[in-house]
Amino acid sequence: MKSFNLSEETVFADLNKKEGKEADFSRNEISLNSLKYKHFRSVLNYPEEDQMHQLMMALTGLTDNDLGELTPNDAAEISHIIFDSMKKYMELGQKILKNAEKR
């Protein structure tokens, strides 16, 4: 599991409750889960405008409420991590399509 350094100390109320920490416990970092194929498949069940949000929840393990506490910079960095993770998967899909078109 990787860690993500937050740009400023942040209180995540739901995560604190889940972990049995004080309600006002603030963090400098959060743990990141590995994104898996199943995560990319599951977001297809959501409208396109909600898909990144769902992937952010899968990656961070944060609730919808806690994600709202991220600074814009932190949210952007987490989105960047997701895009990088998707990049190789999308490149593979493009190769498969190109090979199928040649046949």
Identity of residue 16 = N
Domain ranges of the chain: 2-102
Percent of the chain with pLDDT over 70: 94
| Pairs from 61-67 (Cβ < 8 Å, separation ≥ 24) | 61/15, 61/30, 61/31, 61/33, 62/12, 62/14, 62/15, 62/30, 63/14, 63/15, 65/13, 65/14, 66/12, 66/13, 66/14, 66/15
- What is the full DSSP assignment across 38-91? HHHHHGGGS-HHHHHHHHHHHHH---HHHHTTS-HHHHHHHHHHHHHHHHHHHH
Q: What is the pLDDT of residues 4-53, one digit of tens each?
A: 999 999 999 999 999 999 999 999 999 999 998 889 889 889 999 999 99
Indicate if the pLDDT at residue 62 is higher than 80: yes
Task: Pick 20 or 100 by higher pLDDT.
Answer: 20
- pTM comes to 0.83
pLDDT of 75: 97
pLDDT of 90: 75
Indicate if the pLDDT at residue 103 is higher than 80: no
